[in-house]
Chain A
Amino acid sequence: NAGVTQTPKFRVLKTGQSMTLLCAQDMNHEYMYWYRQDPGMGLRLIHYSVGEGTTAKGEVPDGYNVSRLKKQNFLLGLESAAPSQTSVYFCASNPGLAGGPTDTQYFGPGTRLTVL
Chain B
Amino acid sequence: KQEVTQIPAALSVPEGENLVLNCSFTDSAIYNLQWFRQDPGKGLTSLLLIQSSQREQTSGRLNASLDKSSGRSTLYIAASQPGDSATYLCAVSNTGTASKLTFGTGTRLQVTL
Q: Which residues of A contact B (CB under 8 A)?
A: 31, 33, 35, 40-45, 48, 50, 56, 58, 90, 92, 94, 96, 101-110
Contacts and interface: CB of A to CB of B under 8 A. Distances in A.
Contact of B98 (A44, A50, A107): A50
Interface string B33-46: 01010000011111
Interface residues of B, number: 25
Interface stretch (B14-22, B67-75, B76-84, B103-111): B103-111
26 contacts: A31-B99, A35-B101, A41-B105, A42-B4, A42-B103, A42-B104, A42-B105, A43-B89, A43-B101, A43-B103, A45-B102, A56-B98, A90-B44, A92-B101, A96-B98, A101-B32, A101-B51, A101-B52, A102-B49, A103-B99, A104-B46, A105-B46, A105-B101, A107-B44, A107-B45, A108-B43
